[in-house]
């Protein structure tokens, strides 16, 4: 692939020292999907599979400087946001996205920790709703994040459908609400493009190794959009990527292990080897009969 045709994606998020989520998960995903990944760090965390032990937010003007540096030189085909904990950081990101005309912006509203704690101060939640959502190409909340955005409970798939429309009414062009937190044997995501509502079904996977799931899905979606794939197809491919990553989750540490960012590649390699092995067997049989 020539340099001029290499897809470029930017992640604007926090660093996870444990490597399972945040910037680290995003860059791993970009790499696996053939996209040149760039980063603008918003925070540095002390983090592992057990939780977050410390957070150090970076200055908003430095977050902006990182974005300006890559946008003015390398260029950005698609971008995503993750952890934006302070209102001033969100404002800096919004200003940069507008100035550099980033149209394909995936907003992963990292608002609620796995244990239920709020990660954004109230002022940041307000700025996210009022300034970031209106410039989003797509927003990808899970159920607790959608509840935080709407300040209402979501308990059924019908509630998810309604929530997707309400979040779209806040200005986002498209919304994907991830249904992994609802009970049941199937995990159902709701996809709303401003007109039509679709459901994405996947078998529920019994595993505790789900650290970085939201980051990985949103970065896979960003990668496919950077590659120029049509939105609905990009969502389907991102869903395939995260499903494989969860199924192949890695048992590291003493808590929630990370998803496996190369699981889909391993599956494809196995299938390829099986096909070639079968063909080799047929070839040996033919040669032996000659």
The kind and range of the H/E element at 104 are none
The kind and range of the H/E element at 66 are helix 60-73
- Sequence length of the chain is 290
24 neighbors 54 (Cβ within 8 angstroms)? no
DSSP state, 130? I
Integer Cα distance of 226 and 220 in angstroms: 10
DSSP state, 178? B
- Active-site residue flag, 216: no
- Active-site residue flag, 213: yes
Q: Which of 82, 215, 222, 259 is catalytic?
A: 215
Q: Which of 210, 222, 243, 259 is catalytic?
A: 210
Q: Which of 29, 45, 213, 216 is catalytic?
A: 213
- Active-site residue flag, 215: yes
Integer Cα distance of 100 and 253 in angstroms: 40
Q: Which of 178, 179, 248, 259 is catalytic?
A: 178
Q: Which of 14, 214, 248, 249 is catalytic?
A: 214
Q: Which of 26, 123, 21 is nearest to 78 (CA)?
A: 26
Q: Which residues are catalytic?
A: 178, 210, 212-215
């Amino acid at each position: 692939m020539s340099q001029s045709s290499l897809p470029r994606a930017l992640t604007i998020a926090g660093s996870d020292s444990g490597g399972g989520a945040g910037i680290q998960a995003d860059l791993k995903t970009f790499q696996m999907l053939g996209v040149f990944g760039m980063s603008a760090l918003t925070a540095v965390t002390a983090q592992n599979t057990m939780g977050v032990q410390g957070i150090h937010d970076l200055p908003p003007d430095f977050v902006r400087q990182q974005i300006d540096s890559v946008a003015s030189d390398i260029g950005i085909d698609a971008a995503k946001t993750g952890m934006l904990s302070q209102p001033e950081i969100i404002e800096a990101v919004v200003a940069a996205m507008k100035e550099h005309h980033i149209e394909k912006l995936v907003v992963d509203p990292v608002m609620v920790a796995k244990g239920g704690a709020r990660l954004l101060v109230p002022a940041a939640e307000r700025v996210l709703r009022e300034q970031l959502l209106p410039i989003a190409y797509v927003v990808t909340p899970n159920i607790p994040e959608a509840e935080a955005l709407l300040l209402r409970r979501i308990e059924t798939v019908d509630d998810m459908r309604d929530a997707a429309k309400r979040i779209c009414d806040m200005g986002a062009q498209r919304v994907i609400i991830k249904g992994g937190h609802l009970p049941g044997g199937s995990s159902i995501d709701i996809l709303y493009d401003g007109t039509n509502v679709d459901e994405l079904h996947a078998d529920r996977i019994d595993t505790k190794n789900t650290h970085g799931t939201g980051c990985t899905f949103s970065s896979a979606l960003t990668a496919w959009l950077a590659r120029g794939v049509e939105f609905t197809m990009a969502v389907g491919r991102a869903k395939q990527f995260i499903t494989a990553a969860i199924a192949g989750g890695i048992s590291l540490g003493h808590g929630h292990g990370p998803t496996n960012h190369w699981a889909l590649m391993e599956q494809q390699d196995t299938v390829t080897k099986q096909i070639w092995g079968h063909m080799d067997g047929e070839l040996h049989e033919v040669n032996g009969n000659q």
